[in-house]
Amino acid sequence: MPGSLLIISHELPGASMSGPAIRYWHLAQTLADEFEVTLAVPGSVDLPAGNVNLITYDRALGRELAGPAANSRLILVAGFALHHYPFLSSLPGPIVVDLYDPFVLENLAIHAGKPLPEQAAIHRIDQGVLLEQLTRGDYFLCASERQRDFWLGLLAAAGRVNPYTFAADPTLHRLIDVVPFGLPAAPAPPPRPVLRGVVPGIEAGDAIVYWGGGLWDWFDPLTAIRAVALLAARRPRLRLFFAGVSHPNPAVPPMRQAAEAQRLSAELGLTGRHVFFNDWVPYAERAAYLLESDIGLSLHLDQVETRFAYRTRLLDYVWTGLPMVITRGDSLGKQAAERGLAATVAAGDVSGVAQALEAWLDEPEEQRSARRARAEAMADELRWPRVVGPLREFCRAPALAADRTRTGSAPVWRPGLAAKAWQSLRRNGPAGLWRDIRLYLNW
């Protein structure tokens, strides 16, 4: 098989896993049908790897990555990988940087409860990590066209949109392209009971509203709980099930919204009667929970993160044909709404959420069948083998970015280079600074 691709995942795939682990597990599995793929993970994996070569590394130093990285034709990184393991940046081969998760925007919400000086200090670190990615990467991935516009602006500010990258491809798709989250190639497995008659308080005949994924600080479970409280009197069999309260990665700190949601539900007397909190649904079992539910729910706050988000939980709703009630604003939700798969509401609109839930619960059967057919058509467009197409093409002929090649171009001066050099000197000493200078000049 041509080429050798190393994917470095900063989250651990396993029975319970979050978005990044799911993404890199499926990218590796999908690309392994054509390429030699190694997936590096921070711990042992209890899943069948198939054609993927699995290696483990220690989060603290990442020394185990040095050999496989040096022997790979191409490396895919995300998050803080280049920052934590600077030896990756010194390698001569091309690096793919996955920008599907705008962590700089997410972290604004996550750290909003801290004192402003502390928030500012964290944000400066995030900015430095992001600039490092934008400067070193040869090919970038994002999750949507809206995200691509966002990242093109930042790449331009970092000096990566320049005569060399433009001459190589005026569309700049050879610099950054869209590779969203995908769906399994196979349809969802047959349903089995996991909620009704299994979870105490949820019985046969109950109407189940399913909140997939976690309760991160940019989401709005409080509006969901208040809407259920509004409906409880006339819909006594309505049940709201939160699939995940605790992140599967213990290093991720508890979210304020998760605690607030549990507090509000208890205060309104809904917990165990109309509202149910689950620790985390195992990844392989998620289809059973989805197929037993009646409506998928995803609500978020009115923040800048929303505009550039790609709400991956909505993909599972499409996969299993669930109608959705969602806060308007993100790109995937917009696609679902345009196809008649989702009812959208304004942020914080309790009565709007209640009305939308009731409308889906009362949906006539003929409309339900037509909606499920539209969901199946959308799901076919979002299967992993299809969405991974641009990355597959790059893996077939990996190359340094046009402004980083040794021939045919001069080094491009990038704004903020002096500040980056000073950071390198402070962090890595003179030897590290000289390494970065040689890397910049492609020596």
Q: What is the 3-state secondary structure (H, E, C) of 14-62?
A: CCCCCHHHHHHHHHHHHHCCCCEEEEEECCCCCCCCCCCEEEECCCCCC
Tell me: pLDDT of 439 over 60.
no
The 10s digit of each residue's pLDDT in 89-101 is 999 999 999 999 9
Local structure of residue 183 (DSSP, 8 states):
B
* Number of residues in the chain: 443
Please say which residue of 380, 395, 424 terminates a domain: 380
- Please indicate whether residue 48 or residue 77 has the higher confidence score (pLDDT): 77
Phi/psi at 237 (5° precision): -100, 15
Same domain, 69 and 149: yes
Give the range of the structural domain holding residue 256, as residue numbers without chain letter.
Answer: 207-380
The model carries a pTM of 0.86
Going by pLDDT thresholds of 50, 70 and 90, the confidence category of residue 185 is confident
Spatial separation of the C-alpha atoms in residues 246 and 216, rounded to whole Å? 10
Res 440 pLDDT > 70: no
Q: Token pair for residue 125?
A: 């670190």
Domain identity same for 214 and 356: yes
Mean pLDDT, residues 334-338: 96
Q: What are phi and psi of 78, to 5 degrees?
A: -155, 170
Average pLDDT over residues 83-89: 93
Identify the three-state secondary structure at position 78: strand
User: Is pLDDT at 250 greater than 60 in this prediction?
Assistant: yes
Residue 213's pLDDT band (cuts 50, 70, 90): confident
CA nearest neighbour of 224 among 261, 258, 169, 187? 261
Tell whether 373 and 263 lie within a shared domain: yes
Q: Which of 230-234, 374-378, 421-425 shows the lowest per-residue confidence on average (mean pLDDT)?
A: 421-425
Residues 157-178 have a mean pLDDT of 96
Residue 264 pLDDT exceeds 50: yes
More confident residue, 431 or 258: 258
Please give the average per-residue pLDDT across 73-92, as a whole number.
94
Q: Are residues 170 and 237 in the same domain?
A: no
Number of domains observed in the structure of the chain = 2
- CATH number for position 355: 3.40.50.2000
Task: Give 271's DSSP letter.
Answer: B
Instruction: For residues 186 and 142, give the distance between their C-alpha atoms in angstroms, rounded to a whole number.
Output: 24
Count CB neighbours of 367 within 10 A. Answer: 11
Report helix, strand or coil for 318.
Answer: helix
* pLDDT score of 404: 86
For residues 280-303, give the mean pLDDT: 94
Instruction: Decide which of 380, 397, 429 is a domain's last residue.
Output: 380
Per-residue pLDDT, averaged over 110-139, amounts to 94
Please say if the pLDDT value at position 251 is more than 80. Answer: no
**Does residue 414 have a pLDDT over 80?**
no
- For residues 90 and 105, membership in a common domain is answered with yes
H helix intervals, 34-162: 66-70, 81-84, 103-110, 116-136, 145-157
